[in-house]
Structure 1
Amino acid sequence: MIRWSYAINQFKPQFDDFTRRRDHLRALRVIAASGFSGVELNAGSGRWEPLGNPQQMAANFGSVAGFSTFVSEAALDGVSSWFWDPSMRLQEDLTHGDDPTQPEGRDGLVAHARMFSSALAELGGDVLVVRPAPSMGDRTLDDTAMTALAESWNAVAAAVAADGIRLALHFDFLSPLRADDGLERLLAATDSSVGLALDTAEFTVAGLDPVAFYQAHADRVTHVHLKNAAAVDDLGEYTFPAPEFTVLRAGGSRAVPRWFTELATEPLLVDAPGFVSALVEHRYDGWVVVESDLSPHPPTSTMLNGWEVRYVLGPISADRAGARL
């Protein structure tokens, strides 16, 4: 059954935004009023990230369970998933990020994954979504690094399974896995317990067809991020230094205003109805998390996407698979 959730990341465009409880409540209520039943959290660290990790959550809501109650009071069923980039520095334990290509740091990677997975289980979620590799601008992946990468994520998948949590690797258009069939090689090298979070816009910007990829790898896709794309990185600018800033935020040499857009916004580079139809065809059972990364108007984007899900995409899945909005 398809379950519909929304990613909360768009509500925090700057590090010092979205820190007050009233802001959190407003965002969760907008998501609920737009027809979604769950919310995907975004990992973060420090006092400016009250929802970023279990320690900050406890400091601001009394406990992880206290935040779970807060989500329920906003009329959502609960937390669907948690997105974590392991390169993120954690002020809470004074660590400087985990590199899954480095075997000597694997114990720390697994420990941090368990920190999120245990809290996620308490929140009622079931998928830990992770960025599998550093950006292409930082490094390339040779055979040695790819082997280490696969072994690291195999270890993490086994560890979080103890909490009843599934692991899903989130490929993005800045990833070095774009080069030399990296994503295919990583999927082949990892166990079946290592799932894939297929992001329709990230695939499209990277020049990949998300529907065709899903058709070929439906057995590995355990999580979905659904959003539209406004342009394709056909210049290969993901290899630029610091691409999170020079390309993703600044738009690269073409100054693309927004790489990601609402589901029904022209140009429709992502065939959302076709993708949802493919999910139904393959009996996908899991969360579809709608996103509007870097939206200048987060509530408006959420409501526009909610309309599209309720009246266009929801009926596709409900008519054929009994999905619940």
Structure 2
Amino acid sequence: MKWSYMDHWRSQSPHGPIDQWESHDTMDRFLKQVAAVGYDAIDTFDFRYYQIMGMYGSVANYQEFVRERGLERIVNIFHAADYDTRNYAPHLPETHENILEDFRITMDRWSGIELDNIIVMPATLYYDMEPVTEDKIKITADLWNKVGEITGDAGVKLTCHHEFFCGIQSKEELDTFYANTDPRFVNLFVDTAQHCIASVDPVEFYEQYADRVTGFHFKDTRHRDLIGDYRRRPDSEIMAETTPRWFYEMGDEGGLVDFEAFMRAVVRNGYDRWLTVEHDKANKLGGDHAESTAIARWYAKNVLERVAAEESGR
């Protein structure tokens, strides 16, 4: 069982909060901390490509920097697109050629290393897509079938990650989307907290689509969105007045995700790929990314790996 860490990170410096991309030294310390507490690899964002080129000269050079700090490789990239309905909206066919070209360029940029998945949010923000109709979801599905062929030709799986503010987030919308996507080209990346916030049981959802799942974001939440915060402009994770912090590490005392049941399901379904821990905005309300990362790794090792061993032995 191998664990990757999605590289959300903030730390304090003499000139205020910084992320690990501030310098070679901050990246060096970040990677060593992640390796020291027992993670095996990292995931990163596609938009980091420009910083990688500026700081390391190539994607392959950056991966070598990662390996020298004790981590195996970069496993997945998250393609965090700017969903501007004028030119990048999966439910609008007139934007599809632009999106397809974007992925042709993206796969070329990352061709210097082996990746497992390129992760996408498969729809615009909910308020830019609503009313969310079956026809719009089918148009969206058609696009991602085509994108999945592009990424597949590059040896990388296309996998879909549904934030609670994504245009496709309810159980009915998810079922419609996956009924209209080709499992050869479009996979699922389960985010335990995001689905829970959207009132989709992550364990049941994973069980239903286990044969299409190519990865996870393991993180917890204390809240479900019961008042339509997924429609908040411009950013549901920041603007929700009722919920100042959405995400917490696994093992959080107030967490809603049943991670032990989730891990049993993972083992029962024979999943044998990477598991990814994510801590999005862990520094809110006095939180600390380094602390959350260490606590989550402790929980993974001392709780989830034990549960997995017990389930495997049955």
Instruction: Please report how far the alpha carbon of residue 70 of structure 1 lies from its aligned counterpart in structure 2 after TM superposition.
Output: 0.6
- Structure 1 residue 283 and structure 2 residue 270: aligned? yes
Indicate the residue corresponding to 2:156 in structure 1: 165
Maintained 8 Å contact 1:261/1:292:
yes
| CA distance in 2: counterparts of 1:88 and 1:23, whole angstroms | 30
Instruction: Please report how far the alpha carbon of residue 219 of structure 1 lies from its aligned counterpart in structure 2 after TM superposition.
Output: 1.3
Indicate the residue corresponding to 1:72 in structure 2: 67
Indicate the residue corresponding to 2:95 in structure 1: 105
Q: 1:5 to 1:157 in 2, by over 3 A?
A: same
Indicate the residue corresponding to 1:210 in structure 2: 202
| CA distance in 1: counterparts of 2:222 and 2:81, whole angstroms | 28
CA deviation vs aligned residue, 1:122-170 (integer Å, no higher than 9, x gap)? 3332100001111112221333322221111001100001111001100
What is the root-mean-square deviation of aligned Cα atoms in Å?
A: 2.4
| CA distance in 1: counterparts of 2:147 and 2:11, whole angstroms | 28
Q: Secondary structure at the match of 1:196?
A: strand
Q: Secondary structure at the match of 2:126?
A: coil
| CA distance in 1: counterparts of 2:120 and 2:11, whole angstroms | 19
Indicate the residue corresponding to 2:39 in structure 1: 36
Indicate the residue corresponding to 2:308 in structure 1: 317
Q: Secondary structure at the match of 1:283?
A: coil
Indicate the residue corresponding to 1:116 in structure 2: 106
Indicate the residue corresponding to 2:119 in structure 1: 129
- Percent identity of equivalent pairs: 28
- 1:253 pairs, out of 235, 241, 245, with 241
The alignment of Structure 1 onto Structure 2 pairs a total of residues equal to: 302
- Structure 1 residue 24 and structure 2 residue 32: aligned? no
- Structure 1 residue 263 and structure 2 residue 250: aligned? yes
| CA distance in 2: counterparts of 1:58 and 1:12, whole angstroms | 23
Q: Secondary structure at the match of 2:140?
A: helix
Maintained 8 Å contact 1:276/1:313:
yes
Any stretches of 5+ residues in structure 1 without a counterpart? 45-51, 90-95
TM-score, normalization by structure 1: 0.86
Indicate the residue corresponding to 1:236 in structure 2: 228
Q: 1:23 to 1:88 in 2, by over 3 A?
A: farther
| CA distance in 2: counterparts of 1:12 and 1:139, whole angstroms | 35
Indicate the residue corresponding to 2:52 in structure 1: 57
Instruction: Please report how far the alpha carbon of residue 121 of structure 1 lies from its aligned counterpart in structure 2 after TM superposition.
Output: 4.8
| CA distance in 1: counterparts of 2:210 and 2:72, whole angstroms | 27
- 1:178 pairs, out of 169, 174, 177, with 169
- 2:140 pairs, out of 141, 149, 156, with 149
What one-letter code is carried by the residue in structure 2 that aligns with 1:209? D
Higher relative contact order (CA 8 A, sep 6+): 1
CA deviation vs aligned residue, 1:4-31 (integer Å, no higher than 9, x gap)? 1111023489997442121222211111
Maintained 8 Å contact 1:132/1:169:
yes
| CA distance in 2: counterparts of 1:40 and 1:321, whole angstroms | 27
Q: 1:112 to 1:239 in 2, by over 3 A?
A: same
Indicate the residue corresponding to 1:49 in structure 2: none
| CA distance in 1: counterparts of 2:113 and 2:312, whole angstroms | 26
What one-letter code is carried by the residue in structure 1 that aligns with 2:307? I
Maintained 8 Å contact 2:111/2:154:
yes
CA deviation vs aligned residue, 1:6-60 (integer Å, no higher than 9, x gap)? 110234899974421212222111111121111110232xxxxxxx12x432221
What one-letter code is carried by the residue in structure 1 that aligns with 2:77? W
Q: 1:258 to 1:276 in 2, by over 3 A?
A: same
| CA distance in 2: counterparts of 1:189 and 1:234, whole angstroms | 28
| CA distance in 2: counterparts of 1:150 and 1:309, whole angstroms | 34
| CA distance in 2: counterparts of 1:179 and 1:269, whole angstroms | 18
Instruction: Please report how far the alpha carbon of residue 228 of structure 1 lies from its aligned counterpart in structure 2 after TM superposition.
Output: 0.7
Indicate the residue corresponding to 1:82 in structure 2: 77
Maintained 8 Å contact 1:229/1:268:
yes
Q: 1:146 to 1:12 in 2, by over 3 A?
A: farther
- Structure 1 residue 219 and structure 2 residue 233: aligned? no
Maintained 8 Å contact 1:82/1:129:
yes
Maintained 8 Å contact 1:87/1:99:
no
Any stretches of 5+ residues in structure 2 without a counterpart? none
What one-letter code is carried by the residue in structure 2 that aligns with 1:42? F
